[in-house]
Structure 1
Amino acid sequence: MAALKLKILKGVFWNSLQVLVNKSFSFVIKLVLAKILFPEEFGIVGMALVFTSFVEVFNDLGFGAALIQRKNENLTKEHFYTAFWTGVGWSLIMYQVMIFVVSPLAASFYNEPLLLKIIPVLSISVLSSPINLVHKAQLMRDLNFKKVAQIENLSAIASGILSLVLALNGAGVWSLVFNSVATFVISMPLYFRATKWTPKFIWSQSAFKDIFGFGIYTTGTNFSNNLINKLDYLFIGKFVSAGALGAYTLAFVLTDTFRSQIMSIMNKVMYPVYGKAQEDIASIKKYYLNVVKYNSLIINPVMGILIVLGEPIVFNFFGDKWEQTIIPLKIIALSVIFHMMANSNTVLMRGMGKSKMEFFIQLFKALFIFLPAISIGVYYYGIIGAAYAVLFNKFVSVCIAQFFLKKLINLHYKELFSVLKGALLGLIVSMGIGYVSYNYTPVGMIVSLVLMMGSYVGIIWLIMGEDLKKQYLEIKFGKEKVAG
């Protein structure tokens, strides 16, 4: 147990470093690109990504998740070889689908001929992604997140620099397109070098059935998640405008995308951990509550700042051309706060081997909650209606997740709110202070932001200071020395 905890802590550290370097750099690149480019150009790429993302969902057939989740005694070399060659063959087929079916369909749907050129280029990642999945799965099974972090950071930095150079040289929308492609292409040889794993020409039917049985539900879940994540983009691009889609995209990048990137720190570590501790319900419950608590501590104050100071942040950092982003930004930030009450629950289900349950839950939410909500929202109220649909979906998702978590790990609402009380109280106090200081005093955005962060940290320290100090000492000296 002590060895596993040490691996978890190291995994969190390296994933934190990856997100800090990778996502911070990517955010700065997007900020600069937003100043150089226009909402319409972001919107066109958003249109393309709607269609490419649906095809990419089926690209690895869930093999990566299956290889990570399986226990050592149930995994052979044939599983890895079979996953690799199946992925390569399948990706070649999918790339033809992208060129000859998806590109014309998307161009016709949006009446945007440029998509005929953009989608085939974006789809290069379809070929490279399955090649990387086996290598990445091997590193994650070994909890070697240090190597994954190094590869992801290097590829993100290189692709970001490329897109910036292209934008400064007038490449326009293509600077965004090549940013997505370069990340996958650059990481491919790095993963081969990291694992030293070379695929042999071996394909096993039994191994295929073994991992496909798990992976098919994971793929179904990813498809359902993609419906939830992309239906709003699809409808806004079709029924509103490319400019509106660009504004909405920026709102999502600053809120829900930021949330998912931060949560990925813990999720990448905890997924294989849940898989190793599938039958230890008490440990899984403890791990999950800690994940919810610390993710909320980090993400909630950022969302509070965006709700209170979203308008000056958008105007000062991105300019007047992004004014449409402000109201959706605030609404989606509020939806993220609701989401944090059940964050990472799907990772827990998948890690426990409940991929079928996860699939049907996500499919139900996509078809019977989000689809009608986003249809009505966009039709009547444009991107503001879309943002309210996201908020409604997050609220319902929390209720559904809590129902199933009670069945899986006997998690009660009281236990959930007990670990969240510090983050929620700190959020409420900091938002109140920020609202009053910015709107009713002569201080500006920067001072109000500092006051919000200071008050949040102060509340958290008053409520959780001793617990945080204990966690710090355990990380630094080890649990036994702290107890002694």
Structure 2
Amino acid sequence: MNRIQTLQQRLFQDRFIRNIGWMGAAELVIRVFRLITTVILARFLSAEDYGLAAIVLMTYEFIRVFTRNGIADKIVQADASEVEELCRTAYGLNWLIAGVLFTFQCLASLAIAQFYNNSQLILPICLIAITYLIYPLAMVQTALIRRENRLNILALITSVQVSTDNVLTAILALSGMGMWAIVLPKFLVAPIWIILTFKYHPWRMTKSLTFAGGGKITSFASRVLGIELLTIFRENVDYLLIGRFLSVQALGVYYFAFNAGLGLSLSVINAIRVSLFSDLCDLNSQATLFTQRYMQSLRKIALMIVPLVIFQSSLAPFYVPLIFGHKWVERGAVPILILICCSALSRPFADAASLMFRAFGQPQIELRWNLVFTMCLAIAISLGTNWGILGAAIAVTATHLILQPLYTIWATRQVLPKFLQEVKG
């Protein structure tokens, strides 16, 4: 029995490392293209262009979160006997949600333009909403690829789409398109995802729609959606408050620092997150292997993230003026970049704890944590803006580095043993 468990452990460990390798390679390709694009944007876009683009993308991310509603996660987590029925239900639900989101974002563009007193925001916000009417074609196939742990395919699709996005962004920036250089490619590259997903997965909606699996999906997905809503608010609340209480120019500097400083770390964190969730779902009925995989993942996260963050933040004073230009140094972007970069140290550990709850079908615990953390972060940033964008960056970093480690320790030492005892029982 011990030999079988050892072989299973090696199998999952090899697959986890292989999946991290595929996703990491995709992220490396993306980062190369994104670095070139970021350099071009930094030299050809003004702070106001960055600020307007940040508002458009912030609006899009706030509303797009409803597409990350847990439906795909339920397909990944479900028993094999339920999958086909859930896919047919998910297909109909995805189209229903897409129509609602498209309509809502177009209407919201009017309120956003009035809120920021800038009518230039209406058209790009409406244009990017069209993507909601494209992605439902391939959402089920994407979930099935994740379920089958074929993350090499997901890595390929992601790298091709995002790299094309960055190339188009660079071309449009060089053409003097201003904020449109950042916004327009998001719409133009959406069909790439559909074409490649159809190529690599055979599932098609050949049978009639059914909502028989709706109860199973909504009971799980409603909690995941709550988590994603809080997450997207938390990830954008700094943009919202800085843009409102400071200025669009200040938001532009902060937005540049955030993307230049945290982009690489978030890419690695996302690769870990996608790879880890599939593995944990496979092992949630095997207490010993689950514990080993979870603890090993925490150690691997530390080995990957800590050196990366230290290396990048320590070199910021040198590579920012060299690569992006001296104007960002003069506008005070370097200390903002270093602080935001340091906030990545605790993020993947908290993600691992949250994925553990989700793998056991207990996303309501993750939901309560996200509610508390989001409230604390919003309050901290509100106070921090009294000292400008530097104060906001300090608030973001301090909140992450204090609260997320406490959450990870609590989840690992207090809650995980209870779940494992239930599995053994």
* Structure 2 counterpart of 1:381, one-letter code: W
1:124 CA drift (Å):
2.4
Q: Which residue of 2 aligns with 1:362?
A: 370
Flag the 1:82–1:60 CA change in 2: closer, same or farther, 3 A.
farther
Flag the 1:359–1:129 CA change in 2: closer, same or farther, 3 A.
farther
State the alpha-carbon separation in 2 of the partners of residues 83 and 341 from structure 1. 30
User: How many aligned positions are there?
Assistant: 407
Q: Which residue of 1 aligns with 2:102?
A: 95
Q: Which residue of 2 aligns with 1:35?
A: 43
TM-score normalised according to structure 1 size: 0.80
State the alpha-carbon separation in 2 of the partners of residues 290 and 31 from structure 1. 37
Whether 1:373 aligns to 2:380 is yes
State the alpha-carbon separation in 2 of the partners of residues 10 and 298 from structure 1. 15
Higher mean C-alpha displacement, 180-189 vs 211-220: 180-189
Whether 1:80 aligns to 2:91 is no
Higher mean C-alpha displacement, 210-219 vs 304-313: 304-313
Q: Which residue of 2 aligns with 1:19?
A: 27
Q: Which residue of 2 aligns with 1:124?
A: 130
- For 2:315, what is the secondary structure of its paired residue? helix
Q: Which residue of 1 aligns with 2:190?
A: 184
TM-score normalised according to structure 2 size: 0.90
* Structure 2 counterpart of 1:243, one-letter code: Q
Whether 1:285 aligns to 2:291 is yes
Q: Which residue of 2 aligns with 1:234?
A: 240
Q: Which residue of 2 aligns with 1:443?
A: none
Q: Which residue of 2 aligns with 1:141?
A: 147
State the alpha-carbon separation in 2 of the partners of residues 307 and 5 from structure 1. 30
Whether 1:389 aligns to 2:395 is yes
* Structure 2 counterpart of 1:247, one-letter code: V
Identity of aligned pairs, percent?
A: 22
- Mapped contact 1:377–1:389 kept (Cα < 8 A): yes
* Structure 1 counterpart of 2:152, one-letter code: K
- Mapped contact 1:15–1:146 kept (Cα < 8 A): yes
Flag the 1:338–1:3 CA change in 2: closer, same or farther, 3 A.
closer
Whether 1:225 aligns to 2:231 is yes
Q: Which residue of 2 aligns with 1:259?
A: 265
Deviations 1:127-180 (A, max 9, x none): 233333211111111111111111111112222222222111121111101232
Q: Which has the larger radius of gyration?
A: 1
Whether 1:198 aligns to 2:204 is yes
1:280 CA drift (Å):
2.6
Q: Which residue of 2 aligns with 1:167?
A: 173
1:234 CA drift (Å):
0.3
Could you list the runs of 5+ residues in structure 1 that have no partner in the other structure? Answer: 412-484
1:366 CA drift (Å):
0.9
User: Larger relative CO (CA 8 A, sep 6+): 1 or 2?
Assistant: 2
Q: Which residue of 1 aligns with 2:4?
A: none
Deviations 1:101-122 (A, max 9, x none): x101111111121110110122
State the alpha-carbon separation in 2 of the partners of residues 326 and 86 from structure 1. 44
State the alpha-carbon separation in 2 of the partners of residues 230 and 203 from structure 1. 36
1:9 aligned to 4, 7, 17, which one? 17
1:399 aligned to 399, 406, 409, which one? 406
Spell out the pairing of 1:97-112 with structure 2 (5 A cutoff): 97-100=104-107, 102-112=108-118
Spell out the pairing of 1:64-79 with structure 2 (5 A cutoff): 64-73=72-81, 75-79=82-86
State the alpha-carbon separation in 2 of the partners of residues 8 and 337 from structure 1. 21
State the alpha-carbon separation in 1 of the partners of residues 388 and 293 from structure 2. 40
- Mapped contact 2:38–2:324 kept (Cα < 8 A): no
1:410 CA drift (Å):
4.2
Could you list the runs of 5+ residues in structure 2 that have no partner in the other structure? Answer: 1-7, 419-425
Deviations 1:20-54 (A, max 9, x none): 11233223222222222122211111111222212
Flag the 1:179–1:296 CA change in 2: closer, same or farther, 3 A.
farther
State the alpha-carbon separation in 2 of the partners of residues 333 and 25 from structure 1. 20
- Mapped contact 1:61–1:212 kept (Cα < 8 A): no
1:212 CA drift (Å):
1.4
State the alpha-carbon separation in 2 of the partners of residues 332 and 401 from structure 1. 20
